[in-house]
Structure 1
Amino acid sequence: MNEMQSMLADTAARLFEEQITPEVLARAEAGDPLEDLWTLVQQQGFDLALAPEEAGGSGLDWCTVYPLVLLSGKFSLPLPLAETLLATWLLGKAGLPVPQGRLTVARLGPENVRTAAQGGQAQICGSVADVPWAAAADHIVLCAELEGAAYAGVIAAPDTTIDTRLNIAREPRCTVSFGEGVPLELVPLQGVPAAALTYMGAMLRSAQMAGAAERLLQQSVQYADERVQFGRRLSAFQIIQQHIAVIACEAAAMSAAASYAFSCADGDAPELAIAAAKIRAGTGAGKVASLAHAVHGAIGFTYEHTLHYSSRRLWAWRSEYGSHAWWSERLGRAAIAAGPQQWWPALTRGTLPLGSLQ
């Protein structure tokens, strides 16, 4: 971890540990927008960490902000920080100004763009489902994947119709509708794959899931050391030791895969690393959550205990931006299409063209 990463991690850990209490998480699930907490996040400059310096940001790279995303997952941060980071990165790649406030991202398909986007004005129509935190956002960055290229534009959230739903973690996942058509300038994204939003969203979720797994490990170790059963601490039972060992291994593997993906994200070919990270996070999520609940027993299933804040996020996030099965299928197709001569280079160099993700 370099010096900037260490500073960012220390600052974020202190802030989140002080501010994200069980009471705050319960308020968020009841619909509180947590304006005070968002103000603190902004004061630290976390929301603009990836924004270019000329846009008022810090101009950091993905590798440097990895600890921030990891910790947002570890502390179940009930704010669209990850989405804001991705939105500002997309705007930077498009050379567009970064608006103030909370941001989120949404993917546009050809069915949502009425006029072919070759740069300039387009008509955005129809609706987009499962947009994270749209109801809480001030602006929505729209990423259009058209004819093998990616375009970005930004729209004020009040200019759309938003129908809010909640995922299993009680985070907003909204349907955003544009009515008969909204004029929008779509600008080509430079140096990113056509499926940039899918890739980077998957990478963010893999890091958040690694953080949630670390939190479940921490809680399981603490509970097993404190709880006494049949005259012995739970940590003295071999089966509990086995459960915790598996949780630790899975959490470490998830973190290593996500960290590597972030280190590759600003390079020329991050696709394989991102796909592998999302697959590893998705396969580990079920094991970690199941075993953590097994360690805690019945108390872990109560709303009063805080275990569920992490386990429900693992269950929700593993299916977003492609499940591990979805990514595994595309990774397998890419390996077969590349042929046997590319198998060893893919393993040793971490490069394998995944092609279209449709």
Structure 2
Amino acid sequence: MNDVVEALVSTVDAVCARYADPEQTWNPRLWDELEKVGVTLLPVPEERGGAGADLATTVEVLLAVGRHAAAVPLAETALLAGWLLADAGADVPSGPLTAALAGSDVTLRQDGDAWRLSGTLPRVPWARHAEGIAVLADGHVAYVVRGGFEVEEGANLAGEPRDTVHLRDAAPAQVLATTATAQAFRERGALGRTALMAGAMETATGLALRYAGERVQFGRPLAKFQAVQQHLAEMAGETLMARVAAQAAAAEGTGLAVAAAKAAVSEAAGTVCRLAHQVHGAIGFTDEHGLRHATTRLWAWRDESGNEAEWGERLGGLALDAGAGLWPLVTGGDA
């Protein structure tokens, strides 16, 4: 991480430390502050309204967002909706955005000079708070603004909005041809969740380390017991692996690195959650303790954008397809 990126991440950390409230399921004040910093459209090209940063910088910022359990759709806006619109040649509007991949029951059709979008989009992150939804359907990006869709509210385990969106002959504000693929959409979504999980794992591990150092049992801190030390060491190892995996996936952007990172970090998240709660004991499960803000998100995020089994299968498919070229695939990251 160079000095510029380090300074940017420090600024985001400071903003999140001041304004983030893990109890909230949507934090408009924090979103406004992050917009002022200029990170909400971080990887979007400058000519389309963004900052023109690379994926590596974006992942570092998402690590900070994950550390603070920030209730904002930064991954959805920066990595998905912003990417879809910019890739299709559209300027990206300000404000919180979200994105969805159209399923088989979603139809996009042209009605004279107008377009119509119909169907249901399940579990769309932050839909009720988004200014618009970018939908990838049939080789097109259809952008539907707030008021053009109906929302049936839902939530993940952490209480974050995961809404069902009903499109009833919606009239998109824009419909543009795109080269973006469903697989690229899934990979970018997985990259975002991987970075957020790596950040949340840092928080869970930090809380466990602090609690083990402060909590005295049988006359000495928990951190002095060998079994607890082993738990903490394993958590630290898994957390470091998650950060490195997210950074490596960002450097590659697609294919093998993303599949490997999401599979490995989703599995590691389960380990870190289990050990963090073992170190804390019963207090870690209470509403009053901050650990739950990290672990409930980790349990939710590990299954979003594909769980470890799905990405493990993808990884195996890439390896089989490579055949004799497996070694160059692994060492060169050419997926």
TM-score range, shorter chain: over 0.9
The match for 1:335 among 308, 319, 327 is 319
Secondary structure of 1:109's aligned partner: coil
Gaps of 5+ in 2: none
> Between the two proteins, what is the percent identity of the paired residues?
39
Give the equivalent residue in structure 2 for 1:259.
247
Shift of 1:7: 1.7
Give the equivalent residue in structure 2 for 1:15.
15
The match for 1:76 among 54, 63, 69 is 69
Shift of 1:110: 4.4
TM-score by length of 2: 0.94
Counterparts of 2:108 and 2:143, CA distance in 1: 17
State yes or no: 1:320 paired with 2:308.
no
Does the CA contact (< 8 Å) of 1:132 and 1:174 recur in 2? Answer: yes
TM-superposition CA deviations, 1:309-349 (whole Å, max 9, x none)? 0000000001111111011112212322332x021111111
Where do residues 207-356 of structure 1 align in structure 2 (5 Å cutoff)? 207-265=195-253, 270-339=254-323, 341-352=324-335
Does the CA contact (< 8 Å) of 2:144 and 2:172 recur in 1? Answer: no
Give the equivalent residue in structure 2 for 1:25.
22
TM-score by length of 1: 0.88
Give the equivalent residue in structure 1 for 2:5.
5
Gaps of 5+ in 1: 353-358
Counterparts of 1:263 and 1:212, CA distance in 2: 21
**Structure 1 pair 16–172 and aligned structure 2 pair: CA distance change class (3 A):** same
Secondary structure of 1:178's aligned partner: strand
> Greater shift after overlay, 248-257 or 81-90?
81-90
**Structure 1 pair 181–88 and aligned structure 2 pair: CA distance change class (3 A):** closer
Counterparts of 2:169 and 2:59, CA distance in 1: 40
Does the CA contact (< 8 Å) of 1:99 and 1:139 recur in 2? Answer: no
Secondary structure of 2:289's aligned partner: coil
TM-superposition CA deviations, 1:228-279 (whole Å, max 9, x none)? 00100010000110000000010111111110111112xxxx2111101100
Does the CA contact (< 8 Å) of 1:8 and 1:65 recur in 2? Answer: no
Secondary structure of 1:312's aligned partner: helix
Count of residues in Structure 1 that have an aligned counterpart in Structure 2: 333
Where do residues 102-141 of structure 1 align in structure 2 (5 Å cutoff)? 102-115=96-109, 122-141=115-134
What code does the residue aligned with 2:263 have? Answer: I
Shift of 1:217: 0.9
Does the CA contact (< 8 Å) of 1:121 and 1:186 recur in 2? Answer: no
Does the CA contact (< 8 Å) of 2:148 and 2:172 recur in 1? Answer: no
Structure 1 stretches of at least 4 aligned residues deviating more than 6 Å after TM superposition: none
Shift of 1:100: 2.1
Shift of 1:64: 1.6
